Homo-oligomer: A and B are copies of this chain.
Amino acid sequence: MKYSLFGESHGPAIGIVIEDIPSGIYLDQDFIQSQMDRRAPGRTPLSTERKESDKPKILSGIYNNKTTGTPLCAVFSNDDKHSEDYEDLKYIPRPSHADYTGWIRYRGYNDFRGGGHFSGRLTAPLVFAGSIARLQLMKKKIFVNSYISSIHGIRNPKEQEIENQIAEAERAGDSIGGCIACKITGFPSAIGAPDIGKNIEGEIARAMFAIPAVKGIQFGAGFEFANMLGSEANDGFKVNEENVNVIETITNNSGGINGGISNGMPITFELVFRPTPSISIPQKSVNLKTMQNCEIKIKGRHDPCVAYRAVPVVDAMAGIVILTFLQEAMGYDT
């Protein structure tokens, strides 16, 4: 399962083409829409007010509401655009955004409005694609479960704490960072390989860095390994008490993966999301036309915490990657 994401924030539409999708997946609209809704803006006072159309229009790859196995294209039209909010930004890049790198990379030809192709809005089609992957995985009792594991310094926050932190940042015209943890259960052992391009950790990491604002990933005990002894870190083996043919580990510091290969334990990893770069507090920038230092004060509607809405995006991306691994191990219609 491979995908191509396309679209710009203020163009006619964004979307995705998914290739190598197993045929015969029933599109459970309730499940898919529930995931789309988790990501959608405007659903709580905490997230950006833009009313985005999060209803995919499926152009191909579906017949009688089941995947055909041929490339599936879904598009989301761009409504409620406030392009005028961005006119001022054309030559004044927003700090830590991709305005500047997009401008130099595409030699000034990129559509800068609303972040263009870099916009977080492109995670909508990703959630759609991931939901289809997850529908297939659920048939095999493989589940993906992501959640906020840290927000502005608070580890394992309660929902109320999350809302308070976000509300406070919003009031201050600022933004906050956070972490998302992900746990995949039911994934079979013996999948993956140590080599580049084939190991599960590497492929999950590669995919996750394609989610805007991700700046780090750790598997199992992750960076905590740097403080540990081998005797603390190692996951001893034991026979499963209920099924004597199954081997499991006593602890799961490895996050379900050894040598790039799944060991049958839950796959666990955590991602860090930087604070939303768009803040209304004045910042230092440079006018690209005049090459003069200047100040920028960003208008427009922005989530103060990108991690908060990214939870279903992580679920989706994880689903895509691990279904792909299953297909390689067991065949494309798995």
User: Does A275 interact with chain B (Cβ within 8 Å)?
Assistant: yes
B274 near A225 (CB under 8 angstroms)? yes
Within 8 A of B (CB), among A74-131: 75, 93, 95-98, 100-102, 104-107, 109-111, 116-118
Question: Chain A interface residue count: which class?
Answer: 35 or more
Give the residue of B4, B19, B232, B238 whose beta carbon is less than 8 angstroms from that of A293: B238
B254 near A73 (CB under 8 angstroms)? no
User: Does A332 interact with chain B (Cβ within 8 Å)?
Assistant: yes
User: Does A156 interact with chain B (Cβ within 8 Å)?
Assistant: no
In the complex, how many angstroms separate the beta carbon of A173 from the nearest chain B beta carbon?
9
Q: From A179, which residue of chain B is reached at the shortest CB distance?
A: B226
Give the residue of B23, B106, B275 whose beta carbon is less than 8 angstroms from that of A229: B275
Besides A70-B195, A202-B206, 11 new A-B residue pairs in contact (Cβ under 8 A), listed by A number: A4-B71, A6-B60, A71-B117, A98-B194, A104-B261, A194-B210, A197-B206, A199-B209, A231-B279, A237-B285, A253-B274
What separation, in Å, do the CA atoms of A189 and B236 have in the docked complex?
46
Of A152, A193, A206, A275, most B-chain CB atoms within 10 Å: A193
B286 near A68 (CB under 8 angstroms)? no
User: Does A42 interact with chain B (Cβ within 8 Å)?
Assistant: no
B233 near A177 (CB under 8 angstroms)? yes
Contact surface of A with B, Cβ cutoff 8 Å:
3-8, 11-15, 17, 19, 23-24, 57-64, 66-73, 75, 93, 95-98, 100-102, 104-107, 109-111, 116-118, 150-153, 169, 172, 174-179, 189-197, 199, 201-203, 205-210, 212, 214-223, 225-239, 244-245, 247, 249-250, 253-255, 257-263, 272-279, 281, 283-286, 288, 291-293, 304, 328-334
Query: Could you pull out 20 A-B pairs where Cβ atoms are within 8 angstroms?
Result: A4-B71, A6-B70, A6-B71, A7-B60, A11-B63, A15-B59, A19-B195, A70-B117, A95-B234, A98-B194, A104-B190, A105-B191, A151-B226, A172-B229, A178-B226, A196-B210, A197-B210, A206-B206, A225-B272, A331-B331
Q: From A25, which residue of chain B is reached at the shortest CB distance?
A: B109
A95 near B235 (CB under 8 angstroms)? yes
